[in-house]
Structure 1
Amino acid sequence: MLSMSDNDSVQTRNWNVLVFMAGVVILFTILLVRLFSLQYLNYDENFQRSENNRLRRVVLVAERGFIYDRNGEVLVRNRPSYQIALQAMHLPRKDSARAIIFNRLLQIVDKNGERMFDSLSLDTAFQRAHWIKNRPIRILEDASPEQVAIIEEHSSELPGVTTLIESRREYPYGTLASHVLGYTSEISEEQLKLPEFADYSQGDRIGQKGLEQHYDSEFRGKNGLKLVEVNAMGREVGLVRGVESEPPVPGLHLVSTIDLKLQKVAEEAIADSVKGALVAIDPRNGEILAMVSSPRLDPNIFSLKKRERNKGWAQVALDSMRPLTNRAISGTYPPASVFKLVTAGAGLESGILSETKYYPKSCTGGYQFGSRYQKCWGVHGNLNVVHALRLSCDVFFYQAGLDIDMARINEFGRRFGYGEQPLGIDIPGEKSGWLPDSVSFNERNKRLGWRWARGLILNLSIGQGQLVTPLQQATFIGSLATNKGVYRPHLMKELRDYKGNVVKEFEPEIVRPGKMKPETHRILLAAMDSVVNHPGGTGKRGALPGIRVGAKTGSGEWKKGEKTHAWYAAVAPLYDPQIAVAVILEAAGGGGAKAAPIARKVMMAYFGLEEEAKK
C-alpha cells in the first residue's frame, strides 16, 4: 500500500507527463498549422519569393549610338567598363550580417595596399540597398581587371556583391569638339522628377550638353531583357530554359556635319588659354563644318570613376575661364564693325545710301553731335559706302545711322539672322541676340534709369550696343553673300541604324528671309571684296591665294581701358559661297590682325591648301 507521499509523487509525475504531452501536441499543432499555411494558404506567394531568389530579371542595356564626322570618322564611341555593385535581394536580411560584408569590403586592398572602397560611399550604398531591391547599386565604377579579379576571389565571402559590365562613352580626340559633342552622366534626382524623363530610372546614364543631350532618345536604343538563374550568393549560373531572351536594340548612329580635319585645324589655331570661339558653316544649307569654344574641356572625365570624376568636375566648374560655356552659341558680344554691313544694307535697301553718295562731313578723326564729340579710330577723309566699309570708318556710319534710323537697320539685321529669336541649332544652350530700339532699350535699362536718346544711334550704327553670338555672325555673313535665305544651322547630317541604313536625313530649312535687292547685294559684295583684297583693306590678312574672300573685321568695345574683342567674319568663294567663318577672340585687340589669320587657316584647310596654311 502506497503511502501518502508516494501517492503525491505519482500524481505529480502524471501531471508533468500530461503537461509535457499537451506541450508536444500544441507544438506539433502549431507546426502543422504553419506548414498548412505555407504549403496551401500562402503557396503562391512563397513560391514567387523562392523563384525571385532563384531567378533574376536582367535588363540588357542597349548599346548607345556612335557619333561620326561627315566623312565617317568616329568622334564618339563606347568602351567596356566593369562595375562592382550590390544586388540588394541577395544581401543578407539581418543588419548584423550586412555589417560583416560591409567590413569585409572595407578590408579589401589592391596591389598597392590601398583600400578599394571608400567607407562613406559604401555606407551610402548599403543604406540605399534597404529600399532599392530590383536593380544593382554601384559601389565601384570603372573597376580595373585586377580589381575585378580580387572581388571574384572573395566572392564566397561576399554574398550580394556582383560584377557587372556596361559601356561608357569614350571621346577618342579628348577636348576636340567637346562643346558640340557634349557628354553623358548618371541622371540626376532633379531630372527624374521632370515629365520628359518619365521612362528613365535612377542609375541610367543620359546625354548632357551638346549632341549627346539633344539626340539622347535616338542614341539610347531599346533595352532588352533576359531571365537568369542565380545561386545563393546572387551569381548567375545560367539562363532559364524555355524562356526566350529579348535582345536589346542598339541606338542610332549620328553622322554629324562636322569635318574632323577642319575641326582639328580650327582648334589648333585658337590656343586653349584664350577665351574665344569659331564657327564655320556652309551657307548653302546651314551645315556646321567646325565649331570651337575656347577654353575647352575633356568630356572623358565624366566617364571616369566617381572620385576622379568629382575631382575633374570641380576643376572645370570652378575655373574662372568658364570652359563649360559654349561661347560659339551662348556667348553674346557687341558685333562691332561687322554690323556696319547691316547699316549699309539697310541704307541701300531704303535708297538713303547709294554707291555714289558722299556725306558732307568727311572723316577728320571724329564727329560732332550736339555737345558730344564721337571719335573715329582713324582719319579717312571723304568716302562712299564701299570705301567706308573697306576702311571701317566710323564717321561715315554715324551720319548714315542718323539718316537711316534704327527701325530700318534692325529690320535688315533680323532679315539675315540677327535679333531676339534663336536660329534653332540642334544643341541646347543657344542664346538669342539683341537689337535695341527705344522700347527694348528703355525696358532693359529701367532699373539703371537710362532712357533712349537719338545720340545712341551713333554707337549702334557701328555695332556698339547690340548683342550677337558667333553663330549669328557666321550665319549673317554667309546668308548675306548667298542672298538666298538664312538656313537653320545644324549639326546632324543623318541618323543611321546599327546596320548602316539611313533612318533620317536633315532637310535644309530657311528660317529667315535673307534676301535683298540685286543692286544692294552687288554693292555689299564689292565692299566685302575690298576689305580683304584691296591693299588698304582692314581684313587683308585673311586673303587666300587663288580664291576670292569677302569679309568684315571688327573691334568690339566691352570695358573701358581693356583691349577690344577681335572679330572677323568671312565667306569664300565670295561670288559662289561654300563656307562662312566667324571668329571672336575676347580682349585680343584688332579683328584684322588677330582673328583674320585664324579664319584664313580654316579656309585654307577647307580648300585643300594646307601647306600654305602652315606659313
Structure 2
Amino acid sequence: MRSLSDNDSVQTRNWNILVFMAGVVVLVIVLLCRLYSLQHTHYDENFKRSEKNRLRRVELVAERGYIYDRNGEVLVRNRPSFQIALQALHLPRKKEGRDSVFNLLLGIKDKNGARVFDSLSLDTAFQRTRWIKNRPIRILEDASPEQVAVIEEHSSELPGVVTLTESRRDYPYGTLASHVLGYTSEISEEQLKLPTFEGYSQGDRIGQKGLEQEYDAEFRGKNGVKLVEVNAFGREVGSPRAVEGMAPVPGYHLVSTIDLKLQKAAEAAIPDSVRGALVAIDPRNGEILAMVSSPRLDPNIFSLKKRERNKGWAQVALDSLRPLTNRAVSGVYPPASVFKLVTAGAGLESGILSESKYYPKSCTGGFQYGVRYQKCWGVHGNLNVVNAIRLSCDVFFYQAGLEIDMARINEFARRFGYGEEPLGIDIPGEKSGWLPDSASFNARNKRVGWRWARGLILNLSIGQGQLVTPLQQATFIGSLATNKGVYRPHFMKELRDSQGNVVRRYEPEIIRSGKMKPETHRVLLAAMDSVVNHPGGTGKRGAIPGIRVGAKTGSGEWKKGEKTHAWYAAVAPLYDPQIAVAVILEAAGGGGSKAAPVARKVLMAYFGLDEEEK
C-alpha cells in the first residue's frame, strides 16, 4: 500500500504535467493567433514591407543636355562615372555588422598601397545612413574600374555597399570659354533652402555659373524611376515582371551663338598670364560670337572626385588673379578714350559740334581751367572732331565736354548701351556701369566728403570717371556703327530636344534706341575709319587687309603710378558691320599698341584671313 508521501509526489507530478501541457496549448494558441494575424489581419502591411525589402525604387537621372557652338561642334557633353555608395536599408542593423563593413571598406587599398576610403568621410557617411534611408550615400566618386571590381568581388562581405553609374559633365576643350559655359557641382545646403531650388534634393548636381546655371532647368530634363529586385546584400538581381517604371526624359540641348573657331582665336590672342577680357558680338542681332575672361579656369575640376575637386577649388579660389571672375560681364573699368565717341556724338546730335568746328584753344600739351592745368598725352595743334578722335586729343574734348555738358553726354551714352541698367545677357553675374552726374556723384562719394564740381567734366568727357563693362563697350561700338538699335546680347541661339527638333529659338530684341541723325552717324564713322586707316591714327595696328575696320583706342587710368588699362573697340566692315570686338588688357599700357593687335587677330580669324597677311 502506497504511503501518503508517494501519493503527494504523484499528484505534484501530474499537476506539473498539466501546467506544462496548458502552457504548450497557450503557446500554440498564441502562435496560431500570431500566424493568423500575419497571414490575414496584417497581410497587406507585411506584404508591402516584404516588397520594400525585396524591391528597390531606383531613380533614373535624366541625361543632361549638351551645349554646342553655332556650327554644331560639341562644347559640353557627359561622361559615365562610377560611384560607390551606401544603401541604408541593406546595411546590417547591428553595430557589430556595420563595424565589420566599415573596417572592410577601410582596409581596401589601391595598387599603390594607399587607402581608397578616407576614415573621416566614411564615418560621416555611415552616420548619415541613420536618417537617410531611401537614397544612396556616396562614399567614393569617380571610382576606377579596378576599384569597382574590388567592391563587386567582396559584395557578399559588404551588404549595403552598391555601385552606381551616373553621368558627369565633360568639357572637351578644358579652359576654353570656361566663364561662358560655367560648370556643375552638387547642390549646397544654402541653395536647397532657396525657393528657386524647390523639388531638388541633397546630392543633386546643378549648374553653377555661366550657361550651365542660366539654363539648368532646360538641361536637367525629367528623371525617371524603375523598380529592381535585390538580394539580402542589396545587390541587384533582376527586374520584377509586370512592373513598369517611368523612363527619364533627357534635357534639352543648347545651340549657342559661340563660334568655336573664333573662340579659339580669341583665347590664343590673350595669354592666360594676362588679366583682361574680350567680347566679340554680332551688332545686327546681339549674338555673342566669342567671349574671353583671363585668367581662365578648367571647369573639369568640378567633375572630379572630392579630394581632387577640393584641391582644384582651393587653387582657383585663393588665386589673387581671380580666375573665377568673368571680367567680360562683371569687370567694371573706366571706358577711357573710347568714350570720346560718346562726347562727340552728343555734341553732333545737339548741334554744338560739327565737322568743321575748331575750338579757340589749340592743343599745346594741356588745358588751363581756373587754377587747374589738365594735361594732354601729346601736342596736337588745332583740330576738328574727326582729327581729334583720330589722334585722341584730350584738349579738344575738355573744351567740348564743358560746352556740351554731362546731361547731353550721358543721354547719348545710355542710348547706345552704357549706363546703370544691365544689358540682360543670358548668363549670371552681369554688372551695370555708372554714368556720373552731380546727384549720383554726390551720393556715391558722400562718405568721403567729395562734391560735384564742374571741373569734373574735363575727366568725364574723355572717359575717366565712368564705369563700363567690356560687354557694354562691345555693344556700344557695334550699335554705334549700325545705327539701327541696341540688341540684347545673348548666347542662346536655340534649344533642341534629344531627337534634334527645335523647341525654342531666341528672337533678337532691341533694348535701347541706338539711333542718331544721319550726319552724326557719318561723322562718327569717318572718325572711326581715320583711327585705323589713317597713317597717324592711334589704332592703325588693328587694320586688316581688304576689310575696312573702324575703331577707337583707349588708355584707362586706374591707379597712380601704374600702367593704364589698354582698351580697343572695333567694328568690321565699318560701313556694313558684321562683328564688333572690345578688348581690355589690365595694366598693359596703351590701347593702340597692346589691345589693337589682339582684336586684329580675332577679326582676321572671323574673315578667314591668315595672320601672315599684312
Fold in common (TM above 0.5):
yes
Mapped contact 1:210–1:428 kept (Cα < 8 A): yes
SS in 1 for 2:228: strand
RMSD (Å) for aligned C-alpha atoms: 1.3
SS in 2 for 1:255: strand
Query: What corresponds to 2:494 in structure 1?
Result: 494
| Residue 314 (structure 1) aligns with | 314
Measure the CA separation in 2 of the matches of 1:262 and 1:595. Answer: 17
CA drift of 1:94 comes to 2.2
Aligned to 1:61: 61
- Mark the runs of 5 or more structure 2 residues left unpaired by the alignment: none
Contact 1:390–1:528 under 8 Å retained in 2: yes
Amino acid at match of 1:354: S
Shift of 1:24: 3.0
1:580 is matched with which residue? 580
Indicate if the aligned counterparts of 2:346 and 2:412 stay in contact, CA closer than 8 A: yes
CA deviation profile, 1:425-465 (whole Å, cap 9, x unmatched): 11000000000111111111111111111111111111011
- 1:518-529 → structure 2 map (5 Å cutoff): 518-529=518-529
Give, in whole Å, the separation in 1 of the partners of 2:434 and 2:9.
Answer: 109
CA-to-aligned-CA distance 1:345-389 (integer Å, 9 cap, x gap): 000000111111111111111111111111111111111111111
Residue 367 (1) aligns with residue 367 (2)? yes
Residue 270 of structure 1 corresponds to: 270
Partner-residue secondary structure (3-state), 2:290: strand
State the distance in 2 between where 1:151 and 1:433 align. 56
Match of 2:558 in 1: 558
Counterpart-to-counterpart distance in 2, 1:422 and 1:467? 12
Which residue number corresponds to residue 212 of structure 1? Answer: 212
CA deviation after TM superposition for structure 1 residue 13, in Å: 3.1
| C-alpha deviation, 1:19, in angstroms | 4.0
1:187 aligns with 2:187: yes
- The runs of 5 or more residues in structure 1 that have no matched partner are none
Is the Cα–Cα contact under 8 Å of residues 547 and 573 in structure 1 kept in the other structure? yes
Separation in structure 1 between the aligned mates of residue 588 and residue 5 of structure 2, nearest angstrom:
118
Greater mean deviation of Cα atoms: 258-267 or 191-200: 191-200
How far residue 221 of structure 1 moved from its aligned partner, in angstroms, is 1.2
**In 2, Cα distance between the equivalents of 1:296 and 1:153?**
42
Q: How many pairs does the alignment contain?
A: 614
User: Which amino acid letter does the alignment assign opposite residue 104 of structure 2?
Assistant: R
- 1:447 maps to 447
Moved over 4 A (4+): none
1:395-448 per-position Cα deviation (integer Å, ceiling 9, x unaligned) = 111111111111100000000000001101110000000001111111111111
In the other structure, the counterpart of 1:425 is 425
Tell me the amino acid that sits aligned with residue 535 of structure 2.
Answer: P
2:403 and 2:455 mapped to 1: Cα distance?
12
Trace 1:76-225 onto structure 2 (pairs within 5 A). 76-225=76-225
Structure 1 counterpart SS, 2:420: coil
In 2, are the aligned partners of 1:604 and 1:612 still within 8 Å (CA)?
no
Alpha-carbon separation, structure 1, partners of 2:127 and 2:230: 24
Partner residue of 2:260? 260
CA distance in 1, matches of 2:195, 2:94: 37
One-letter amino acid of the counterpart of residue 119, structure 1: S
Q: Secondary structure at the match of 2:612?
A: helix
In the alignment, which residue of structure 2 is the partner of 1:335?
Answer: 335
Q: TM-score scaled by structure 1? A: 0.98
Determine whether 1:41 maps to 2:41.
yes
Q: Quote how far apart the aligned CAs of 1:207 are.
A: 0.6
- What do residues 537-575 of structure 1 show as CA deviations (whole Å, max 9, x unaligned)? 110000011111000000000011111100000000000
Alignment of 1:208-247 (within 5 A): 208-247=208-247
Residue 398 of structure 1 aligns with which residue? 398
Question: Which amino acid is 2:586 matched to?
Answer: E
Shift of 1:8: 4.4
Distance across 1 between alignment mates of 2:42 and 2:610: 79
Query: Partner of 2:598 in structure 1?
Result: 598
Corresponding residue number in structure 1 for 2:376:
376
CA contact under 8 A between 1:218 and 1:251: conserved in structure 2?
yes
* Partner residue, 1:535: 535
Partner of 2:78, secondary structure, is: strand
Tell me the SS of whatever aligns to 1:116: coil
Asked if the contact 2:601/2:611 (under 8 Å) is kept, the reply is no
State whether structure 2 residue 32 is matched by structure 1 residue 32.
yes
CA contact (8 A) 1:88 1:136 kept: yes
Residue 462 of structure 1: aligned partner: 462
Contact 1:258–1:289 (CA under 8 A) maintained in structure 2: yes
Contact between 1:160 and 1:233, CA under 8 Å: does it hold in 2?
yes
The CA distance in 2 between the partners of 1:571 and 1:164, in whole Å, is 52
What code does the residue aligned with 1:286 have? G
Tell me the secondary structure at the aligned position of residue 595 of structure 1.
helix
Matches within 5 A, 1:541-552: 541-552=541-552
The superposition leaves residues 266-316 of structure 1 with CA deviations (integer Å, 9 ceiling, x where unpaired) of: 111101011100000000011101000000000000000011001101111
In percent, how many aligned pairs have the same letter? 86
